[in-house]
Structure formats: structure tokens, C-alpha cells
Structure 1
Amino acid sequence: MTFRTWTAWPSREALTGQGRTDSRRRIAHVIRLFVLGGLFWSTFARDEVSGWGAAAATAGLLAVAACVWSFHRTTLRHELWRSLGLLALLMGAGAGAHEAGFDIPAVVLWCVCAVSALERLPFAAGLPVGLVALGAFAAVNHDAWLTTLLTAAGLLLAGYVLRLDAEARGTAQRLLAQERAARAAEAESAALAERARIARDIHDVLAHSLSAQLVHLEAARLRIEREPPGEFRDQILERVVGARSMAREGLNETRQALSALRGEMAPLGEYLRELAATDGAEVEIAGAPRALSAEASQTVRRVVQEALTNVRKHAAGARVRIRLTYGTDDVSLEVRDSGGTGKGPAGLGTSGSGYGLLGMRERAELLGGTLEAGSGGPGGKGFSVRLRVPA
């Protein structure tokens, strides 16, 4: 055995009993109940234990149970000196019980201390404690020396076997956790690879197509502007400018979707400020900013986009205020406009992204959140969108 073997604690998985089957748990409970019942019977079966004596015996047994429970907790936290102190108290309680004439409880306490020390302490501490406890047992045992020796050796072996069994279960639990983590990492890697492939396809098809449309629309605008002024020319120019704006917005949203697929999204606060600068909106961020899940972050971004698009459609010229609040276990967003009567770009009022308030509400509910939309302020002026999602 190496020095590390002598000084190492049993693993946390071994000390907590993880990986035990239900049948083994039931057997362990039955053994504990049997030992506890034997202690009570051997203590209270004597005629002289009555009245104040019975009360004192009960208090002593409860104190012993509290020490055993505390010993299990301290070994779980790898507190060596406290664990040794509790074992010393238990062995001292056994000596006191022996002096009072309660030999069976004394022997049970010493044997339990020996087995528990070997099972739950480092070998360098558990073996000496076990030998001291079994030495006390041998000193009061009246059987033949060979029987006493075999009993002590059997108890030492039982503690060692219990330790090996617990370590084997702990190792199995760690290997199982590592296997699960490896599978999760493999699944995440496969998902990232698939998302990267989808992002490449979207970039090669949709983003390229929108970029080409922008080029053609810009060329058409420049060509139309060279025509003589007139009502027909102005209407066509307005339509082309509106189509160019929508194509540019679609290209920006496509790029954002590609960034989300690749996991390269800008921080949410930075994104909101950039988006607000384009529309002249005010941004306020409350709470301590933190990284959000991809789903929550994307939901907030989409809701802001849709809310600002609705302002451009139906309340052009209105003042817009965006407030993002980081809560303890959620994030809240409010987009409020002051109301406006201006007319948006040509064709924008009747255009739609296919998302709308219904789509925003469905996206929020899928994450366990809520979305409310309605009057933005006193007098029914303006409009507000309020989102809350767990994060």
C-alpha cells in the first residue's frame, strides 16, 4: 500500500452510499434496527433500570445516536479531528456502560466504532482506532482467547470489506458520471456541427440572395432618381426605397440568426444599444447583467425587433424606451412608445415578418415566460410590450 492509500479518505460517493440497490439499503436498515433494538433490550430488560435510571439510560442512548449521526456527517466533510473526537466519546460511553454493568451495550459500541473507523476514516487513523476499540472488547470478553481473536479479526475484516465495497460503488458512480458527461459533450458537439452546417447553408443561399437584392434595389434607386420628377416617378422611388429598407433589415436579421446558430451572439445589452441607436430609442438596463441561455437571449432579441418594427409601422416618430431588467431567476423586457401619427416607409405598414404579437407570445410561453401587450401609458397613448422569461 502506498502512502497515498494510507492517508486518503474514502470518496464522497463511497461515504454517501451512492449506487446502492434497494435490496442492499433495506438490508442495511434491518441491521441498524436490529442493533438498535438489541441495545434497547439489553439496557431496559434489567429489573434495576426503572424510574430515574430508565430516564438516564434513554438519554444516554439518544446521546450515543446523536454522536453516531454526527460522526457520519463529519466524515462526509473529511474532518479528521472531529471524527476522532466523536469516536473517542463513543468508546468512552462504552467504557462507562461497562463500569455500570451494561456489558452488551459496551461491546456493541466498541465493535461499531472499530468497523466504522475502518470503513469511513483514512487507514492511518482508522486502523489504530479500530485496534483500540477491539482491544477494549477483548479485555472484557470472557470467551476463550482464540474465539476473541477470531471475532476481532472478523470485525476488522468486515470493516475493510465494507470500505472496499463502498469504494467500488463510488468508482462506478464516478465512471457513470464521466460517461454521461462524455455523451453530453458528444451530443453538444454534434449539435454544434449541425448548426454550423445549417448556418453555412443559410449564408450561401439566403444571405447571398438578400445581398444581391440590395445591390439591384440600390441600382434601381439610382436609375429612378435620374428620371424627370413626377408623381409616378416619386411613387416608384418610394416603393423601391421601402423595399431596399426591408431587404436590409432582413439581411441584418439573417446575420443575427447565423450568429445565434454559431453561438457568436453579441452581449444582450450591447445588442440592444446598437438596435436602439438605429431607431433613436432610449435604453435602460437594471440589475446585474449576466449571460443568458441561448433560447432566452434570442427571445428577448426577437421581441425587441418585432416591437420596434411595429413602432415603425404604426407609430412613426414616436419616442421609444427600452428597459431590460435582470432579476434573480428571470429577465424582464419592456418596450414602450409614446404614440405617434407619422407614416412609415412605403409598404411597411402592410408588410409583415410572419411573427407578430402571437408569435412573440408563443415563443415566451415555450420558455415558461409571459408576454403582455397593450396601452403604453396614461390616457391610452402609445403602446407597450412587456416580456418576462426565466433565465
Structure 2
Amino acid sequence: MTQGPWTAWPVVEPQEGRLGARPAPMPGGGESGPARLRRLLLRSVPAAAVLYSVFADHHPGGPVEGLAAAAGVVAVGFLIRAFHRATRLQAAWASTGCAALLLAVAGLAEWRGFTVAAAILAFGCSIVGMQRLPLALGAAVLVVGLGGWVLVTHQSWLGAVLTLGASSLGGYVLRAEGEQRHRLRIQERAARAAEAESAALGERARIARDIHDVLAHSLSAQLVHLEAARLRIEQEEPGPFRDQILQRVVAARSMARDGLAETRQALSALRGDMAPLGDYLREVAASDGAEIEVAGIPRPVPAEASQTVRRVAQEALTNVRKHAPGARVRIDLTYGEGELVLCVRDSGRGGGGAAPAELASSGSGYGLLGMRERAELLGGTLDAGPDGAEGKGYRVRLRVPA
């Protein structure tokens, strides 16, 4: 059934600061003695006052009537608790049944002479019905409850109108106040989440500045010095020692250049200005002469998942260059429902050599073993193994939630 203004249930939430509400637990794990005593008094004193008013208005005629009155008080307590629970569960039939029983008890109390008890039950049930039930159902409970009370007590038409109008207005005001409080809680939670996100972005920006000022500057200086060393060594007379030193300097320069590039990628990730994942993979594939295909509808993904895909793609291509130079490589990226799937395949060595075995480390310094652990931290998986009918090629497959 489509819910409209008259059939929709109001929002009911626990209310901090409400009279008699349970306070937040103390850091030690329990509630303090004074707080427990205050809560007990807030609940017991009004109940005792109501009971005194009920029985001061009409004394039981004997032991039997006294026991019946006590049993009625207990039954009403259970009915009120059941009515409260049924409205929280938004159970229409249970709520209606409890309200009908409470109004029936009110009529019985009026018949037996407990006028105060009848008035409390009739007014309380009607106002709470307007506050916690759909408007159509709450209005019906109010009309039946207070209409019956007006007829039994022979109120004038003006008194009847004022009674029904004031009670309905009071219940509706309580209902609107509860819904407004719920909206304010939602806005407060959203504000806290935005504040936490802003603080996290500020911290990431600070880390990015520190990395840029220290690590990136240091790597850039190393590149300058290594390039100067390479140029100086190339001016020496050729020989085994000179060639060995030149090879080490060129390798160190290459490692520093790769480290600087990866540092810049990390800075982009921290600042949130990374290139789209598909564009990055196409650029990497073009530089390595690999084929690439992107399936699914591209969408923004979390920075952690995007960075993991980039690292795994980079590591897989590094392993291909290291263990199967000249092999054909294909990269497949799939935007699935709630996940990203990356698959990097190579055709293997031209002579049908074995698949790479050194997966724990590579020239980039990360290694597929580290990437597998990183994927598992995100709730994903990484599989690597021989590919193809003859097992000549190799396949790396990553799946991460995104």
C-alpha cells in the first residue's frame, strides 16, 4: 500500500535528554549510583502519584475489589508497554488492538467509579495515538477514546470541541517535534561525517606536502647527481671497470626516476587529483606496447582501490619485462557491480620458456606478493599463475571491491 500523509508512520527514535531516558554509559562500563537513583525516581514518583490519584478518587469496596483493582493496574502496565513496543515496531494491528484494550479498560474503570483512571487512560491513549500512529489511525483512536469519555461524562458541545481539539493538537505537536528531532539528528550526523572527512583531507594534504618537500626533493637531487656522474664516467677511457661503474650508475638513475614517478603518483592519490583509472592504464599500456580493453561503465572508485589496481598493473608489466621480454601483453579492466577486476596476461617467452617464478620482488620494489596482501586488506583477491593451454604465458588477476 502506498503511504501518504494519513497512512505514513511517524519517525520514532530514542530521545537523548528525554525525561527518564537512560543516560549514556560511563567510561568505566557502568552507570553511576546517583544517576541510577535519579532515573529510578523519575520513573517511580510520577507512577506513584498517578496510583495515589486513582485510588484516592475511589476506594475499593472490599478485599475482592481491591485485588481486582491491583490486577487491573498490573494489566494496564503490561498493555501500555505492549502498546509502546507495537508502535515502535510499526505493527498496525497490534497497535490498534492494544489501544482498543486500553480504551476498554478505561470504560470499565469509569463504570466501576475510577473516574481519574478512566480520564488518564482515555486522554493518554488518544494523545499517544496521535503522536505515534499513522494520522488516520491516531485520529480514529482519539475520536473513539475522547468521544466516549465526553459522552460518558456529559460534557457540553463546547467542552467536547475544546477537548478533542486540544488533545489532537497536543498529540500532533508531539509528533511533529519527534520528526523534527529526527531530521536534526540526520543533519548532525551528516555534519559530523563532513567534518571528519574534511579533517582527513587536511591531514592527507599535510602528508602530501611533507612527502613533496622531503622525499620528492631528495629523489630529484639524486637524479641530477646521478646524471652528472653518468656524463662524467662516459668521458673516461673504455674498460671493464669503467663499464661496470657506468652500468651501476645508470641502474641507480633508473631506480631513482621510477621512485620519483611513483612518489608523484602517491602525492596525486593523497591530494585526490589522480588521472582516471582507464586513462592511466591506457597510458601505461601504450608505453609498454600492450593491448588494453576496458569493459563496463567507468565510474569514480575509492582511492585505495584505484591505487591498488595501478600498482598491480605496474608490477605485472614489470614482471613481463623482467621474465618474458618481447611477449605480447593484454590488459583487461572490468567495472563490475560493486567491484573492479584487472587481468594482465602475457604470451610467455618466444622460445616457450617457463613462467616467472620470482613473484616476491621485482625492479619496482613492490612485488606481487605485497600486492596480494594489499588486495586482501581491501577485501579483494589476487591470483597469479600460468595461462594458456600449454602454460607458456602468465596471468595476474586482481579483484577488489569498489
**Cα distance, 1:248–1:152 mapped onto 2, change above 3 Å:** same
Bigger relative contact order, structure 1 or 2 (CA pairs below 8 A, ≥6 apart): 1
Q: Secondary structure at the match of 1:378?
A: coil
Report the secondary structure of 2:319's partner residue: helix
Is the contact between residue 83 and residue 98 of structure 2 (CA under 8 Å) also seen in structure 1?
A: no
Q: How far apart are the structure 2 equivalents of 1:303 and 1:25? A: 58
Per-residue deviation at 1:208?
Answer: 0.9
Written as runs of structure 1 = structure 2, the 5 A alignment for 1:228-377 is: 228-340=237-349, 352-377=363-388
Distance 1:357 1:320, change over 3 A: same
Q: String of CA shifts for 1:93-128, please: whole Å, max 9, x gaps.
A: xxxxxxxxxxxxxxx9xx98xx7699866xxxx9xx
Please say if residues 120 and 163 of structure 1, whose CA atoms lie closer than 8 Å, have aligned partners that are also in contact: no
Please report how far the alpha carbon of residue 245 of structure 1 lies from its aligned counterpart in structure 2 after TM superposition.
1.7
Residue 134 of structure 1 contacts residue 152 of structure 1 at CA under 8 Å; is this kept in 2?
Answer: no
The secondary structure found in structure 2 opposite 1:371 is strand
Structure 1 SS opposite 2:390 = helix
Q: 1:15 aligns with which of 7, 10, 21?
A: 10
Aligned match of 1:32: 96
Q: Which amino acid letter does the alignment assign opposite residue 361 of structure 1? A: R
Q: Which residue of 1 aligns with 2:400?
A: 389
Residues 131, 174 of structure 2: 8 Å contact kept: no
Note the C-alpha offset of 1:326. 0.5
Look up the match of 1:73.
Answer: none
RMSD between aligned residues: 4.0
1:252: how far off?
Answer: 0.5
Report the 3-state secondary structure (helix = DSSP H, G, I; strand = E; otherwise coil) of the residue aligned with 1:15: coil
Does the 8 Å contact 1:376/1:382 carry over to 2? yes
Task: Give the Cα separation in 2 of the matches to 1:118 and 1:174.
Answer: 16
**Which ranges in structure 2 are unaligned for 5 or more consecutive residues?**
16-20, 23-42, 44-79, 87-94, 106-121, 352-359
Could you say which structure has the higher helix fraction? Answer: 1
Distance 1:162 1:218, change over 3 A: same
Matches within 5 A, 1:207-246: 207-246=216-255
Q: Give runs of aligned pairs for residues 93-104 of structure 1, distance below 5 A.
A: none
For 2:244 and 2:389, locate their aligned partners in 1 and report how far apart those are by CA, in whole Å: 38
Q: 1:290, 1:175 → 2: CA distance?
A: 32
Q: Distance in 2 between matches of 1:275 and 1:153?
A: 78
Q: Offset of 1:236 from its aligned partner?
A: 2.9
After TM superposition, give the deviation of residue 318 of structure 1 in Å. Answer: 1.8
| Residue segments in structure 1 that go unaligned for 5+ positions in a row | 1-8, 42-107, 343-348
Q: Alignment partner of 1:375: what SS?
A: strand
| Residue 333 of structure 1: how far off its partner (Å) | 0.3
Measured in 2, the distance between the counterparts of 1:368 and 1:118 equals: 42
Look up the equivalent residue of 1:33 and give its one-letter code: G
Deviations 1:204-260 (A, max 9, x none): 111111111111222222223333333433333333222222211111000000011
Q: Which amino acid aligns with 2:12?
A: G
1:330-377 deviations in Å (ceiling 9; x for gaps)? 1100011112379xxxxxx98555532221111111111111000122
In the alignment, the residues of structure 1 paired with residue 320 and residue 171 of structure 2 have an alpha-carbon distance, to the nearest angstrom, of 71
SS at match of 1:28: helix
* Cross-structure match for 1:181: 190
Distance in 1, Cα, partners of 2:236 & 2:143:
109
Which one-letter code corresponds to 2:319 in the other structure? N
Equivalent of residue 166 in structure 2, options 157, 169, 184: 157
In structure 1, how many angstroms separate the alpha carbons of the residues matched to 2:131 and 2:174? 15
- Identity rate of aligned residues, in percent? 60
Given that 2:361 and 2:368 are in contact with CA atoms closer than 8 Å, whether structure 1 keeps it comes out as no
CA positional deviation for 1:312:
2.2
Which secondary structure state, in structure 2, belongs to the residue aligned with residue 373 of structure 1? Answer: strand
* Distance in 1 separating the partners of 2:318 and 2:132: 71
Count of equivalent residues: 300
TM-score of the two chains, using structure 1 as the length reference: 0.65
Q: Are the counterparts in 2 of residues 373 and 383 from structure 1 also a CA contact under 8 Å?
A: yes
Supply the distance in 2 between the matched residues of 1:279 and 1:170 (Cα, whole angstroms).
Answer: 60
Q: How far apart are the structure 2 equivalents of 1:291 and 1:300? A: 13
Deviation, 1:269, is 0.5
Q: Answer whether contact 1:119 1:160 (CA < 8 A) is retained.
A: no
Partner SS, residue 155 of structure 2: helix
